[in-house]
Structure 1
Amino acid sequence: MLHFEGLRKRVIKNYFIIIILTVTLFEGLFMFYVQNYYYDSVRQSLKAQVNYTNSVYNTSINNIENTTFDEKISNILDKQKIGESSKFAIQVIDKNKNIIVDPYGIKTNEKIESEDVDKALKGAKDLYPITSKIKATNEHVMSVSVPIKINNVIEGAIRYTVSLTEIDATIFKLGLGLVFAGICILIIALSLSLRFAETIIQPLVELKEFANELSHGNFSIKLKDTNISNDEIGDLAKTFVHMAAEIDKSEKLKEEFISSISHELRTPLTSIKGWSETLGYEEITRDELDLGLGIIQDETERLIKLVEELLDFSRLASDRIKLKIDTVDIKRLAIGVVNQLKVKSNEKNIRLNVEFINEDIDLIQGDKDRLRQVLINLVQNSIKFTDDGGFINIVVSQDEEYTTIKVVDNGAGIEKENLEKVLDKFFQEDYNKAGSGLGLAISNEIVKLHGGNMILNSKKGVGTSITVKIKNIHIKSIQA
C-alpha cells in the first residue's frame, strides 16, 4: 500500500508540477501556432484580394474618366463570381458607410461601422485584415475593405469577409484532442513519478533499517543490495557498509584490547601479591628476599608504564596532551636511551647500537621527555619482537629541515596487510605478546605534535625499520 507522505509526497508533487507546467506550456504554444497557421492562411488570401483589387481597379491606367462607381462595382462583382461557391463574402459600401450590396448580392441601405471600412474610406495605406464578430449572428469573421476610386477620388469601398466558424471549430477539436492527450500524459507521468519515487525511497528505507540495526549494536548486519543502484544512494549505502565494517573492527579491537589490558594488569598484580605474601614468611632466605623484591620492583615498573600509556592515550584522545618545549640534544638523548635499555637487550643477547651519520648534531626544539618516550617505545618494541642473538641499530642524521631517527631491527617483522594498522590505537598483530597496543600509536601522535611524521617499513621474518622525522625549527607550542 502506498503512503503519500514524507519524501514520497515531495518527490511526486515536484515531479508532477514539472510535468503539468511542461504539458501546459507545450499545448499552449502548439495551439498558438495552430491558430496562427489557420488565421494566417485566411489573412494571406485577403491580402492577395486587396492587392488584386488595387492593381486592377484603383491604378491610374484603369481609372477611365467615363466609368461610374456603379459600373466599376458591377464589373468587380461579375469577376468575383458572387455565389455559394465564392470563398469570400463581398459587401459594397458607399462613401457614407451605407451597404449597397450585401454578401448575397442584395441591395440594402444598412449602415456599417467597422474599423476596416473606416480605414478604406479614409484612404489608409495599411489595409490589414481584422477579426470581429457580427452582432446579429455572433459569427466570428475576418475582413478587409478596399477603397474604390473614381478619378482618384474615393467613392466607396468593397469589403471582403471570410467566416472563421469552421476554422474555430477545427481549432477547438484540436484543443480537445490536446487536452485529452495531456490528461493521458499526466496519468503516465503520475505512474512514472510513483515508480521514480519508489526507486529513491526504497533504498533509503533499507538504509534506515540498516542504521537502526547499527544503533542497536548489530555491526555484522549485511545490507540488501537488491534495490541499491550504482549512484549517489549506492555510494551512501557503500559508505554505511564500510562504516559498519570499521565499527565492527573497532569493537573487536577494543574487546581484544580490554582482554589484553586485563591480562597485562592481572599478571603483575598476581606476581606482586604472591611475592608480598611470600616475603612475609619468617623462614625466607636472603636470596629469596632479593629475588622477590626484584620481581615486585619490575612488576611495579611494568604497571606504572602501562598506566602511563593509558593516561597518554586518554590525553591524546581528548587533545589534552601538553608539550613542554625546550632545547633538546638528540645525540645525548639517543645515547641515554641506549644505556637505559642496554640491560634488557643484553638479557636476550641482542646487539643494541647507536650510529650518528653527521659528526655534529645541532640542538633542536621539542619536548625532551616526550621524544625520549618515543625512542624508548620504539626500542622496547624492537626488543620484544627480536629473537635472541638479533640486533637493533639506532641511526641518527640531520639536514637543514629535519632531524631523523631510524630504529632498525631484524626481528619478526609485520605482515604486509597489517602495516597500515600498526599505528592504529589498540592494534596488536600478536595479542599473545605482552603490551597494550598503544605504544606506537602514542609515539606517532607525539611525533605529529612536533610537526614531524613516522614512516614504517617491515617485512615478515626479515625485520622492521621505523623512521621518525622531526622538524628542526619549532613553529608553535601545542597545549591543551
Structure 2
Amino acid sequence: MTLHLEGLRRRVVKYYFIMIAITVALFEVLFVFYMKEYYHGIARTYLEQQVDNISAVNFTSFEDAINDILERENVNKDINLGIQIINKNKEVLVDQYGIKTGEKINYDDVNNALMGNEGYNIFTYNILRTKDHVMSISVPIKVGNSIEGVVRYSISLNEVDSVMIRMGIGIFIGGILILLICFLLSLRFADSLIKPIQDLKKTANQLAQGNYNITLSNEKLHDDEIGDLVRTFDHMAREIDKTRKLKEEFISSVSHELRTPLTSIKGWSETLSYEGISKEELDLGLGIIQDETERLITLVEELLDFSRLASDRIRLQIGNVNVAKLAKDVVNQLGVKAREKNITLLTEFNTKEREIVEIQGDKNRLRQVLINLVQNAIKFTDEGGYVVVRLSQGEEYTTFSVTDNGIGIEKQNLDRVLEKFFQEDYNKSGSGIGLAISNEIIKLHKGKMILESEKGEGTNITFTLKNNLIDAIAE
C-alpha cells in the first residue's frame, strides 16, 4: 500500500485554506453589510429629524408654508441636505437654492405624501440622469384638511458609497493578505503533520529491510498524538532490535545447549562400541548418556512450551493440587543434584502442614514451575550454599517462595529476567526461557510472580496462587 504524502499534504492545506477563506469571506460580507446599515441609518435618522420639525404643523396657506419652511432651512443651513417644495401637480416650485424650476417629478415618496398615506417612508434610489444615489423622504403640506403640496428632503449617498467602496477595497485587500498568511501557515502546519509521518515511513521501510538499529529524531516533535505515535514507533523499533538480539543470543545459546549433550552422547556411544570396555566404564557411559538425554528432553520440552505460549495454545488441566506434597516431592527429586554441589536444600512451611489444604490448579504445570525455580537456584548457588522452598497459605491465596544465597542478579536486570530469551550470563547453561515460561504459567493461574535479588547476596522468587482458581477464571 502506497502512502501518498503529497496528497495528504495537499488535502490538509486545501481544507485549512477553504475553512479560512469561508471565514474571511463571511466576515467581509457581514462587515460591509453592517457598515452600510450604519451609514444609511445615520442618513435615515437625519431625514426623520427634518420631518419631525414640520409634520405636526397645519399651515394657513400654501405660501405661508413655503416661507416658513424656507426660513427654517435658512436657520438650519446644511449643504448636504437637499430640499424641494412641490405643488400638488408634482411641479418643483422651490429647491434648496430658491430657484423655481417648474420641473415635474414623479418619485414614490412624493406620490406617497400627496396621497396622504399615514407614515412617511424613506426611499432610496438612483437618478439615472445625474447618476446620483439618493435617500429621500416627503411630507405633505396641509392647509386646513387639504394637501396643497409636498416638502421633499433628500441626501446624496454618493459620498457614503465612495467611502463604502474604499472600505470594501481595503477589506478585500486585507482579506487577500490574511488568506496569504493563512496559506503559508497552513503549509507550515501541514509540514508539521507530514514530516513525522515521512520519518515513520522511512523507518518502516528500514524495518522491512531488516535494519532495526535506527533512531527517530525527537527534537522537533510536539507533545500531541503524532508525537506520541512517533515516540511509540521509536520505542517499538528499539524493542524489535532488542528482541532480535535476544533471539540471536537465544539461538546461539540453544545451539550450544543442544551441541553439548549431543557431543557427549555421540562420544560415549562410540566409546561403548569398543571391545574390551570395563563394567565401570560401561555404567559411567550409560549414566552420562541417560543424563544428557534427559537434558535434551527438558530443553525440547521448554522449546515446545515456549512455542505453545507464543501461540496461546497452552491449556491448563485444572484439578485439586496438594501443594504441601508438591513442595516436598520437588525438594526430594532435586535433592541429589543439590548434594552434588554440597548445597543445603530444604522445605519450610510458614503455615502448619496439617492445616494446608488442596488448591485448584494444574499440578504438572505448577510442578514444572517449582522445579525450574529450584534448579535455577541450585545452578546459581555456589558450593556450601542453601536453597529454601517456603510455603504459606491463607484463606484466599497460597504463596510459594524459593530463596537462595547464590550469585544474585544485577539491579538493572531485575525487570528483564522474566523476559523471553534473556540471560544475564550467556556463558551459563540454559535456554533463557525457563523463567519466562514459569511466569506465563503463573499468570494462567491468575497469580503473580515477584523477583527480588541483590548481586552477591542471593535471590528470592515468590509466586502467589488463588486457592479457588475456577472462581477466579469465572470472574
Deviation, structure 1 residue 98: 5.0
Q: Determine if contact 2:218/2:231 at 8 Å carries over to the other structure.
A: no
Aligned position for 2:66? 73
Deviation, structure 1 residue 40: 1.7
Aligned position for 2:100? 106
Q: Determine if contact 2:5/2:198 at 8 Å carries over to the other structure.
A: no
Aligned position for 2:415? 420
The one-character-per-residue Cα deviations of 1:421-471 (angstroms, maximum 9, x if unpaired) are 111111111111111111111111111111111111111111111111110
Q: Secondary structure at the match of 2:80?
A: coil
Q: Supply the AA of the counterpart residue of 1:10.
A: R
Inter-CA distance 123–155: structure 2 relative to 1 (3 Å threshold): farther
Inter-CA distance 473–71: structure 2 relative to 1 (3 Å threshold): same
The answer to whether the aligner puts 1:35 opposite 2:36 as a matched pair is: yes
The answer to whether the aligner puts 1:190 opposite 2:191 as a matched pair is: no
CA RMSD of aligned residues (A): 2.4
CA distance in 2, matches of 1:326, 1:226: 56
Aligned position for 1:167? 160
Q: Determine if contact 1:80/1:86 at 8 Å carries over to the other structure.
A: no
Alignment equivalent of 2:444, drawn from 449, 452, 456: 449
CA distance in 2, matches of 1:99, 1:409: 122
The answer to whether the aligner puts 1:254 opposite 2:236 as a matched pair is: no
CA distance in 1, matches of 2:212, 2:280: 55
Q: Supply the AA of the counterpart residue of 2:190.
A: A
CA distance in 2, matches of 1:376, 1:4: 56
Inter-CA distance 4–371: structure 2 relative to 1 (3 Å threshold): closer
Moved over 6 A (4+): 82-85
Deviation, structure 1 residue 187: 2.4
Alignment equivalent of 1:475, drawn from 461, 466, 470: 470
Q: Supply the AA of the counterpart residue of 1:124.
A: E
The one-character-per-residue Cα deviations of 1:249-269 (angstroms, maximum 9, x if unpaired) are 111100110000000000000
Aligned position for 2:216? 223
The one-character-per-residue Cα deviations of 1:86-109 (angstroms, maximum 9, x if unpaired) are 322222234465544456532526
Alignment of 1:153-302 (within 5 A): 153-225=146-218, 227-302=220-295
Alignment equivalent of 1:409, drawn from 398, 404, 412: 404
Inter-CA distance 153–401: structure 2 relative to 1 (3 Å threshold): farther
CA distance in 2, matches of 1:236, 1:222: 14
Deviation, structure 1 residue 4: 9.5
Q: Normalization by structure 1: what TM-score? A: 0.91
Q: Secondary structure at the match of 1:265?
A: helix
Q: Determine if contact 2:5/2:194 at 8 Å carries over to the other structure.
A: no
CA distance in 2, matches of 1:215, 1:393: 48
Aligned position for 2:395? 400
Q: Supply the AA of the counterpart residue of 1:190.
A: F
CA distance in 2, matches of 1:99, 1:455: 109
CA distance in 2, matches of 1:252, 1:408: 30
Q: Structure 1: any 5+ residue segments left out of the alignment?
A: none
Inter-CA distance 366–83: structure 2 relative to 1 (3 Å threshold): closer
Aligned position for 2:369? 374
Q: Secondary structure at the match of 1:262?
A: helix
The one-character-per-residue Cα deviations of 1:222-261 (angstroms, maximum 9, x if unpaired) are 3345654454433333222221211111111001100000
Q: Supply the AA of the counterpart residue of 1:465.
A: N
Aligned position for 1:17? 18
Deviation, structure 1 residue 134: 2.9
Inter-CA distance 171–109: structure 2 relative to 1 (3 Å threshold): closer
Q: Determine if contact 2:196/2:226 at 8 Å carries over to the other structure.
A: yes
Aligned position for 2:315? 322
CA distance in 1, matches of 2:335, 2:284: 21
CA distance in 1, matches of 2:471, 2:429: 36
The one-character-per-residue Cα deviations of 1:101-157 (angstroms, maximum 9, x if unpaired) are 4565325262524046415642413x2422122354453210111222223544332
Inter-CA distance 119–429: structure 2 relative to 1 (3 Å threshold): farther
Q: Secondary structure at the match of 1:162?
A: strand
Q: Supply the AA of the counterpart residue of 2:274.
A: Y
Inter-CA distance 226–391: structure 2 relative to 1 (3 Å threshold): closer
Q: Determine if contact 2:109/2:137 at 8 Å carries over to the other structure.
A: no
Q: Secondary structure at the match of 2:154?
A: strand
CA distance in 2, matches of 1:477, 1:23: 62
The answer to whether the aligner puts 1:465 opposite 2:451 as a matched pair is: no
Q: Structure 2: any 5+ residue segments left out of the alignment?
A: none
Q: Determine if contact 2:398/2:466 at 8 Å carries over to the other structure.
A: yes
Q: Secondary structure at the match of 1:475?
A: helix
Inter-CA distance 89–406: structure 2 relative to 1 (3 Å threshold): same
Aligned position for 1:431? 426
Q: Determine if contact 1:91/1:158 at 8 Å carries over to the other structure.
A: yes
CA distance in 2, matches of 1:313, 1:195: 50
Q: Normalization by structure 2: what TM-score? A: 0.92
Q: Secondary structure at the match of 1:145?
A: strand
The answer to whether the aligner puts 1:144 opposite 2:137 as a matched pair is: yes
Instruction: Tell me which moved more, 38-47 or 3-12.
Output: 3-12
| Matched positions, count | 467
CA distance in 2, matches of 1:144, 1:185: 41
Aligned position for 2:386? 391
Deviation, structure 1 residue 83: 13
Aligned position for 2:324? 331
